[in-house]
Structure 1
Amino acid sequence: MSLKPSEEIIKNSNIFKMMQEHHFTDYTKFWKWSVSDKKKFWTETIKNLDINLTNPFSEIYNSDDVENPQWLNGAKLNIVDSCFQNDDDAIAIIYQKENDELQSISQLTLEKLVNRIANSLIDSGLVKGDVIAIDMPLTLEAVAIYLAAIKAGIPVATIADSFTPNEIAIRLKITKPKLIFTQDYLLRAGKKLPLYSKILEANAPKAVVIKATEEALSLREYDLFWDDFLSNNTSFKSVLHNPEDLMTILFSSGTTGEPKAIPWTHTTPIKSASDGYYHHNIQKNDVVCWPTNLGWMMGPWLIFAALINKASIALYYGAPIDRNFGEFVQNAKVNMLGLVPSIVKHWIKTKCNENLDWNAIKCFSSTGEASNPKEMEYLMQLGNNKPVIEYCGGTEIGGGYVTSTVVQENIPSTFSTQALGGEFVLLNDEYKPSDKGELFLLPPIMGLSEKLLNRDHHDVYFKDTPTYNGLKLRRHGDQLIRLNNGYYKAMGRVDDAMNLGGIKVSSIQIEAVINRLHFIKESAAIAISPEDGGPSVLVIYYVALNARETENESYLNLINTLIKNELNPLFRAKELIKIDSLPRTASGKVMRRKLRDLFESEH
Structure 2
Amino acid sequence: MSDEVIWRPTPEVIERARITRLMRSLGVTTLAELQRRSIDDPEWYWNGVVKDLGLRWLTPYTGVLDDARGPAWPRWFPGGRLNFSDNCLDRNVDAGRGRKAAIVWEGDDGQTRTLTYAELAREVNRLANALRTLGIAEGDRVGIFLPMSPEAAIATLAVVRIGAIYTPCFSGFGAQAVASRLQDCEAKLLITADGFQRRGQIVRVKETADEALTQCPTVQHVLVYRRLGREIPWTSGRDRWWHDAVAEQSDRCAPVAVESDHPCLIIYTSGTTGRPKGTVLTHGGFLLKCAHDFAYCHDVGDDDRLFWLTDLGWLMGPMLFTAALALGATAVVFEGVPDYPKPDRLWALAERHTISVMGMSPTAVRSLMPHGPEHVHAHDLSSLRILGSTGEPWNPEPYRWLFENAGKARIPITNYTGGTEISGGILGCFPIAPIKPCAFAGPIPGMAADVFDEDGRPVRGAVGELVLTKPWPGMTAGFWRDPARYEETYWSRWKDVWVHGDWATIDADGFWYIQGRSDDTLKIAGKRLGPAEVESVLVGHPAVAEAGVIGVPHEVKGEAIVCFVVLRPGQTPSEALRKELAERVANQMGKALKPEKVLFTRDLPKTRSAKIMRRVIRATHLGREPGDLSSLENPASVTAVTEASSPQAVSRGATAMPGRSERWRVWGALSGPPILTTAWSCLPRGPPATS
Query: Equivalent residue of 1:396, what SS?
Result: helix
* Corresponding residue for residue 394 of structure 1: 419
Q: Which amino acid aligns with 2:306?
A: V
Matches within 5 A, 1:478-493: 478-493=502-517
Matches within 5 A, 1:453-602: 453-457=480-484, 458-467=486-495, 472-516=496-540, 522-529=546-553, 535-542=558-565, 556-576=578-598, 581-585=603-607, 587-601=609-623
In structure 2, C-alpha distance between the alignment counterparts of 1:190 and 1:210, rounded to whole Å: 19
Q: Residue by residue, what CA displacement relative to the aligned partner does 1:505-559 show, whole Å, maximum 9, x if unpaired?
A: 11222223334557765443222346x897123334455668998x866665344
Q: 2:270 aligns with which of 253, 263, 276?
A: 253
* Residues 547 and 236 (structure 1), Cα distance of their counterparts in 2 relative to 1, 3 Å cut: closer
Query: Equivalent residue of 2:257, what SS?
Result: coil
Is 1:360 the counterpart of 2:377? The answer is no
* Corresponding residue for residue 652 of structure 2: none
Is 1:6 the counterpart of 2:10? The answer is yes
Is 1:424 the counterpart of 2:449? The answer is yes
* Residues 528 and 370 (structure 1), Cα distance of their counterparts in 2 relative to 1, 3 Å cut: farther
In structure 2, C-alpha distance between the alignment counterparts of 1:205 and 1:323, rounded to whole Å: 43
In structure 2, C-alpha distance between the alignment counterparts of 1:246 and 1:235, rounded to whole Å: 23
Q: Residue by residue, what CA displacement relative to the aligned partner does 1:50-100 show, whole Å, maximum 9, x if unpaired?
A: 111011111101143322221111011112111123321221111122333
Is 1:283 the counterpart of 2:301? The answer is yes
* Residues 89 and 509 (structure 1), Cα distance of their counterparts in 2 relative to 1, 3 Å cut: same
Q: 1:71 aligns with which of 69, 76, 91?
A: 76
- Equivalent pair of 1:371/1:534 in contact (CA under 8 Å): no
- Equivalent pair of 2:134/2:221 in contact (CA under 8 Å): no
Q: Residue by residue, what CA displacement relative to the aligned partner does 1:374-417 show, whole Å, maximum 9, x if unpaired?
A: 11221222132322112111111110111211222222322221
In structure 2, C-alpha distance between the alignment counterparts of 1:463 and 1:444, rounded to whole Å: 11
Answer with 121-130 or 589-598: which moved more.
589-598
Q: 2:478 aligns with which of 447, 451, 463?
A: 451
Matches within 5 A, 1:149-168: 149-168=159-178
* Residues 16 and 529 (structure 1), Cα distance of their counterparts in 2 relative to 1, 3 Å cut: farther
Displacement of 1:30 in angstroms is: 2.1
Answer with 519-528 or 194-203: which moved more.
519-528
Q: Residue by residue, what CA displacement relative to the aligned partner does 1:171-224 show, whole Å, maximum 9, x if unpaired?
A: 111122222111111211101010111111112532111112233345211211
In structure 2, C-alpha distance between the alignment counterparts of 1:429 and 1:522, rounded to whole Å: 32
Query: Equivalent residue of 2:39, what SS?
Result: helix
Is 1:82 the counterpart of 2:87? The answer is yes
Q: Which amino acid aligns with 1:356?
A: H
- Equivalent pair of 1:316/1:325 in contact (CA under 8 Å): no
Answer with 381-390 or 6-15: which moved more.
381-390
Q: Which amino acid aligns with 2:529?
A: V
Displacement of 1:597 in angstroms is: 3.4
* Corresponding residue for residue 229 of structure 1: 245
* Corresponding residue for residue 328 of structure 1: 349
* Corresponding residue for residue 235 of structure 2: 220
- Equivalent pair of 2:524/2:557 in contact (CA under 8 Å): no
Is 1:242 the counterpart of 2:242? The answer is no
Query: Equivalent residue of 1:248, what SS?
Result: strand
Residue correspondences, number: 597
In structure 2, C-alpha distance between the alignment counterparts of 1:248 and 1:189, rounded to whole Å: 30
* Residues 154 and 576 (structure 1), Cα distance of their counterparts in 2 relative to 1, 3 Å cut: closer
* Corresponding residue for residue 113 of structure 1: 123
In structure 1, C-alpha distance between the alignment counterparts of 2:445 and 2:553, rounded to whole Å: 28
Q: Percent of aligned pairs with the same residue? A: 24
* Corresponding residue for residue 439 of structure 2: 414
* Corresponding residue for residue 57 of structure 2: 53
In structure 2, C-alpha distance between the alignment counterparts of 1:310 and 1:155, rounded to whole Å: 23
Q: CA RMSD in A?
A: 2.5
State the TM-score, normalized to the length of structure 2: 0.81
- Equivalent pair of 1:318/1:325 in contact (CA under 8 Å): no
Displacement of 1:584 in angstroms is: 4.2
Displacement of 1:291 in angstroms is: 2.3
- Equivalent pair of 1:273/1:304 in contact (CA under 8 Å): yes
Matches within 5 A, 1:137-176: 137-176=147-186
Q: Which amino acid aligns with 2:251?
A: T
- Equivalent pair of 1:174/1:454 in contact (CA under 8 Å): no
* Residues 375 and 555 (structure 1), Cα distance of their counterparts in 2 relative to 1, 3 Å cut: farther
Query: Equivalent residue of 1:202, what SS?
Result: helix
- Equivalent pair of 1:61/1:73 in contact (CA under 8 Å): yes
- Equivalent pair of 1:369/1:534 in contact (CA under 8 Å): no
In structure 2, C-alpha distance between the alignment counterparts of 1:518 and 1:226, rounded to whole Å: 40
- Equivalent pair of 2:279/2:477 in contact (CA under 8 Å): no
State the TM-score, normalized to the length of structure 1: 0.93
- Equivalent pair of 1:279/1:406 in contact (CA under 8 Å): yes
Query: Equivalent residue of 2:430, what SS?
Result: coil
In structure 2, C-alpha distance between the alignment counterparts of 1:39 and 1:587, rounded to whole Å: 46
* Corresponding residue for residue 42 of structure 1: 46
Structure 2, unaligned stretches of length 5 or more? 214-218, 625-664, 666-691
